[in-house]
Structure 1
Amino acid sequence: MEFPQVVVVGSLNYDLVLKQERLPCKGETYTADDLIQGPGGKGANQAVQCAKLGLSTAMIGKVGEDRFGEALLGTLRAVGINDEGVTRQGTTGLGVVHLLPDGDYYSTLLKGANYLLTEADINEKMDLIQNCEYLLLQQEVPAHIVEYVIDIAHLSNCQIVLNNAPARFIKEESLKKVDLLVVNETEAAYMDGTPVNSIKEAERVASKLLQRVQQAVILTLGEKGAVVAHHSSIFHVPAKKVTAVDATGAGDSYIGALVYSLQKGESYENAASFASEVSALTVSKYGGSDSFPLLNNILE
């Protein structure tokens, strides 16, 4: 049996993106200008970007027994993702996104089937987790499942990548088993308990978070780029300047590209630079994972 290079354990959501000029005020009914529908969920997004860049990828998670679940499975299969670890139960998770003209957004999630994922589901696909090169985790499935998967993967030779998003508490003994932690300013501030409003503050917090994981911390800063902390080295990687129209899924695109580059043997600095290029292409188009570039798009 040929095992995938990347296994993603995480969420699969169907996104409903409302394009509008502003958010409604309390008690106000506001009319949106357009609706964009498509696949989403941090787990599925990261898996799709890995697959679009050519990595053999498997997904473990849950979707509902409804048309949204069928659509999400179709998205995975369309890019060649192994979906044998995706089971169906209940109602599919939904993401309702309010997209503003500057590309910024506000999201509300319906947990749905994502929170029906169990340890038994993980055990059924234990061979995938134990034999992959990179394991990707986020925080849109139950917390105890994330920690359970980390404990399993730590016993193998795979690299554990944790995107602590949305930010939540994770046990220190689990965090210590993580090879690479990826967080944005808000998530980093939550984990450290101090604000991150500048590159200098990001370097300080990344340095502190590095002491809690195995290898590296990448703290993304949107248009300011990212700070990478790896062993005794801390450096800033600028973002590529583009006209952003939709930031939905940009962080997931970044992580998928980061893992692709690391799997190809690149340094953390080169991998972060490549990921910046990929996410810049993502934010220049509308949509979630549908807007993620293929490797040929990047080479062009």
Structure 2
Amino acid sequence: MKYDVVVIGSLNYDILIQQDRLPHLGETFTGNALMMMPGGKGANQAVQCARLGLKVNMVGCVGQDIYGQELLQSLEKYNIQTDNIKRSGTSGVGIVQILSEGDYCSTIIKGANYHLSINDISEKLFQDKPLVVMQSEIPESVVNYVIERAAGLGCRILLNNAPAREVRPDILRKVDYLVVNETEAQYMTGKPVTDIASARQAADQLFDKTHATIIVTLGEKGAVVKSPALSEHFPAVSCPKVVDTTGAGDSFIGALACKIVRGMTLAEAMTFAAKVSAHSIQKYGGQSSFPSLEEVQPCSATV
């Protein structure tokens, strides 16, 4: 089968705690609800791509435990190819704390994600020139190897440098799309990114290093794009109620990838991705909140 997208990345089993606030140092604080579900940036992005109708091949590693089995079953439910997901050790785990306004913070246990190696990457993955989507929750050596091999074989590459880490300049120059949030943009530029103006400056700086399409996401402030043909701020999309922003960035990237594959303009892709991610934050969780193409409803832009 010819795949539209190959996602090479992380699979984590998420434990979500809904609570009014974070505890202070040394304090025991009571949470309101506990939820457990499949996650991981790689798996999340793969699921959103699949929910929007793309044929998706996922490459990664899960543990030889019950969490690993559930992670695989979740992908298979969405008809995602899992033959290239190996099993080793214990699964990666994400501990996510969701606050009352829908914001969150998380801690990731790497687990089996860091058992993935360059020996698990076959050039057959790239033979039909799919869009290659990657994040930074797997070993840096694997990310670098994939980018070099996939670029050399004519694939377009989308890198979500999350969580943020150093990326070699020669590797960055092979990336077609670099997507980061404000925290990751600040890490990569060494300058504060707190608003639209500073996001534009960060995008310009990253563009000068890469000449790739740079996208800096800003949550409720929207996103900034810098590419050879476009320099623009795209507003966020208003929602009746923000319940949980977990996975919103992954939903955005999955939707962006969908429109890139479908040959839409960058402006059209950005507008669509904003609508899809806005839909996702109206429910708890990551993958379980991601909409299908039929579920995406028109929303009004926030000025």
**TM-score by structure 1 length?**
0.97
Asked whether the equivalents of residues 180 and 213 of structure 1 are also in contact (C-alpha less than 8 Å), the reply is no
Q: Following TM superposition, by how much is the alpha carbon of 1:203 offset from its aligned partner in structure 2, in angstroms?
A: 1.1
Which residue of the partner structure matches residue 296 of structure 2?
298
Deviation at 1:57, TM superposition (A): 0.2
Shift of 1:29: 1.6
Q: Distance in 1 between matches of 2:148 and 2:154?
A: 12
Q: Mark the runs of 5 or more structure 1 residues left unpaired by the alignment.
A: none
| Aligned mate of 2:280, from 265, 279, 282 | 282
Tell me if the contact between 2:211 and 2:227 (Cα under 8 Å) persists in the aligned partners: no
Corresponding letter in the other structure for 1:145: V
1:134 correspondence with 2:125: no
* Secondary structure of residue in 1 paired with 2:296: helix
Amino acid at match of 2:248: A
Aligned to 2:80: 81
Q: Which residue in the other structure is 1:200 paired with?
A: 197
- State the partner residue of 1:172: 169
Indicate the percent of aligned positions where both proteins have the same amino acid: 48
Give 1:104-115 correspondences, 5 Å limit: 104-115=103-114
Does the residue aligned with 1:131 lie in a helix, a strand or coil?
A: coil
- 1:184 equivalenced with 2:186 (yes/no): no
Aligned partner of 1:44: which letter? A
Secondary structure class of the residue paired with 2:107: strand
CA deviation vs aligned residue, 1:98-147 (integer Å, no higher than 9, x gap): 1101001110111000001011111xx32113424200010000111100
Q: CA deviation at 1:264?
A: 1.3
Alpha-carbon distance in 2 for matches of 1:277, 1:108: 27
Partner of 2:18: 19
Task: Check whether the contact 1:228–1:269 (CA below 8 A) recurs between aligned residues.
Answer: no
How many equivalent residue pairs? 297
Using the alignment, how far apart are the partners of 1:126 and 1:114 within structure 2?
A: 20
Residues 1-300 of structure 1 mapped to structure 2, 5 A cutoff: 2-122=1-121, 125-242=122-239, 243-298=241-296
Root-mean-square deviation (CA, aligned residues, Å) is 1.1
Residues of 2 paired with 1:246 and 1:278: CA distance? 14
Structure 1 residue matching 2:224: 3-state secondary structure? strand
C-alpha deviation, 1:214, in angstroms: 4.2
Residue 261 (structure 1) shift: 1.0
How far the C-alpha of 1:215 sits from its partner, in A, is: 3.1
Q: Distance in 1 between matches of 2:183 and 2:127?
A: 32
CA deviation digits over 1:131-189, x for unaligned, max 9? Answer: 24200010000111100110110111211000000000010000000000000111111
TM-score by length of structure 2 reads 0.96
In the alignment, residue 79 of structure 2 is paired with which amino acid? G
1:185 maps to a residue whose letter is E
1:178-234 Cα distance to aligned partner (Å, 9 max, x none): 000000111111111111111111111101111222431111010010001110531
Q: Distance in 1 between matches of 2:191 and 2:229?
A: 22
Give the whole-Å Cα distance in 1 for the aligned partners of 2:194 and 2:93.
31
Q: Residue type matched to 2:264 in 1?
A: E
**Aligned equivalents of 2:165 and 2:194: distance in 1?**
20
